[in-house]
Amino acid sequence: MPRPNPVLKVNNMDVIHTIAILNKRLREAGKVAFVPTMGNLHAGHLELMRIAREHGDTVVASIFVNPLQFGPKEDFQKYPRTLEEDCALLRTAGCDVVFAPSVEEMYPAPQQVEIIPPPIANELCGAFRPGHFQGVATVVAKLFNIVQPAAAVFGKKDYQQLCVIRALAQQLNYPVRIVAAETSRAEDGLALSSRNTYLSAQKRQEAPRLYQALKTIAHQLQQGQRDYAALEESACRALAAQGWRVDYVAIRDPHTLLPPAGKSERFVVLGAAWLGVTRLIDNSEVSAST
Ligand code: PAF
């Protein structure tokens, strides 16, 4: 296969495929604000780019479908690769540099040094996707070393990922500010996600129900209900009755992601469930004191 052009300049946005050329490009870049992605971009990613602009002189987006974070039976092969369309979108979103490495560029040899994320990474999504957060933490650590951002923006839709990355940055002393962005949603409440493209028209209509179920729990918590197990159980049953296969619905502490302890006033309600062949995740933060 012909190697891609090392630096493709598109309307003042550089599309770079190698670490060496990226390093050169970023030498005089000032403060870098970074948005790591796996591509197949949507309006939610563009919002992350807008936030990134507020945090640096140069905005870098990476597009890399990271094999390390997919399980053997997951959708690594079928994950949509849409570099051209992504670059067209990024150009309109004020991105300065796109870093789109090949798998060989990121992993020239089998990756034997990996980041062990904190134990919370083995719960919730981690319990259903063993090794997923280890793969995420490892690629994000590599990307931080390559891009050396002053700030990096992550969406709250992937709430557990955000917690893992915060811990990674803190405990490995990365000099990077982790900026959390609110989840972007369609009008009917469905969280924007690259995987929504897997949904048939019929499933797309059903899809907002996951967020509705989490919001129902959020409301019940605000009303003072504290039987967490009963609230979770009732949401699982409501989803299952509509044909969902639920991995989990869980009420957790928003900072530690552990089950709430004592007289909690702040929560995050997280859920992951399958609609046909598509696994959706979502969450809702709750402040019961407001
Ligand atoms: O959230 C994602 O798109 C990915 O998990 C990330 C952070 C780009 C790492 O591959």
Domain that holds residue 24: 7-181
Last residue of some domain: 150, 181, 212?
181
Token pair 């040094």 is at which residue?
113
The CATH number of the domain holding residue 261 is: 3.30.1300.10
Do 55 and 33 contact (CB within 8 A), yes or no? yes
Q: Which atom of ligand 1 is nearest to the CA of 38?
A: 3
Whether 84 maps to a domain, the answer reads yes
Whether 53 maps to a domain, the answer reads yes
Whether 189 maps to a domain, the answer reads no
CA-closest candidate to residue 188, choices 175, 174, 206, 173: 206
Residues 114-125 have a mean pLDDT of: 98
Mutational test site, ligand 1, from 60, 153, 161, max ligand atoms within 8 Å of CB? 161
Do 167 and 249 reside in the same domain of the chain?
no
Q: Residues with beta carbon inside 6 Å of ligand 1?
A: 36-38, 66, 69, 136, 139-140, 158, 161
Whether 187 maps to a domain, the answer reads no
Q: Which atom of ligand 1 is nearest to the CA of 36?
A: 8
Last residue of some domain: 149, 181, 213?
181
Cα–ligand 1 centroid distance for 7 (angstroms): 23
What is the pLDDT of the chain when averaged over all its residues?
Answer: 96
Do 32 and 98 reside in the same domain of the chain?
yes
Q: Out of 3-7, 163-167, 252-256, which region has the weakest mean confidence (pLDDT)? A: 3-7
Question: What does each C-alpha distance from 43 to 91, 179, 194 come to in angstroms?
Answer: 13, 18, 10
Question: What confidence tens digit (pLDDT) does each residue in 122-156 have?
Answer: 999 999 999 999 999 999 999 999 999 999 999 99
Determine whether 45 is an active site residue.
yes
Cα–ligand 1 centroid distance for 161 (angstroms): 8
Mutational test site, ligand 1, from 66, 153, 168, max ligand atoms within 8 Å of CB? 66
Do 28 and 69 contact (CB within 8 A), yes or no? no
The model's pTM is 0.95
Q: Does the CA dihedral 248-251-257-260 come out positive or negative?
A: negative
Q: What is the pLDDT of residue 1?
A: 46
Rounded Cα distance between 194 and 32, Å, is: 25
Residues 208-231 have a mean pLDDT of: 97
Whether 49 maps to a domain, the answer reads yes
Diameter over CA atoms, the chain: 62
What is the number of structural domains in the chain?
2
Q: What is the pLDDT of residue 264?
A: 86
Cα–ligand 1 centroid distance for 238 (angstroms): 30
| pLDDT at position 84 over 90 | yes
Q: Kindly report the CA angle at 88 between 86 and 90, in degrees rounded to 5?
A: 65
What is the percentage of the chain residues whose pLDDT exceeds 90? 94
Do 23 and 114 reside in the same domain of the chain?
yes
Do 167 and 215 reside in the same domain of the chain?
no
Cα–ligand 1 centroid distance for 230 (angstroms): 33
The CATH number of the domain holding residue 103 is: 3.40.50.620
What is the percentage of the chain residues whose pLDDT exceeds 70? 96
Residue with CA closest to ligand 1 atom 9: 136
Do 160 and 29 reside in the same domain of the chain?
yes
Q: What is the pLDDT of residue 263?
A: 86
Residue with CA closest to ligand 1 atom 8: 37
Whether 148 maps to a domain, the answer reads yes
Q: What is the pLDDT of residue 253?
A: 97
Q: Which atom of ligand 1 is nearest to the CA of 69?
A: 10
Do 167 and 276 reside in the same domain of the chain?
no
Paired strand residues for 8: 15
Question: What confidence tens digit (pLDDT) does each residue in 38-59 have?
Answer: 999 999 999 999 999 999 999 9
Cα–ligand 1 centroid distance for 231 (angstroms): 30
Question: What confidence tens digit (pLDDT) does each residue in 182-199 have?
Answer: 999 999 999 999 999 999
Residue with CA closest to ligand 1 atom 3: 37
Do 157 and 281 contact (CB within 8 A), yes or no? yes
With 0-12 / 13-18 / 19 or more C-beta atoms within 10 angstroms meaning exposed / middle / buried, residue 86 is buried
Cα–ligand 1 centroid distance for 194 (angstroms): 11
Q: What is the pLDDT of residue 12?
A: 87
Q: Would you tell me the crossing angle of helices 132-147 and 159-171 to the nearest 10 degrees?
A: 50
Based on its alpha-carbon atoms, the radius of gyration of the chain, rounded to whole angstroms, reads: 19
Rounded Cα distance between 75 and 67, Å, is: 10
Dihedral (C-alpha) 138, 49, 211, 85: value to the nearest 10 degrees?
-90
Cβ of 169: how many Cβ atoms within 10 Å?
A: 18
Q: What is the pLDDT of residue 103?
A: 98
Q: Which atom of ligand 1 is nearest to the CA of 136?
A: 9
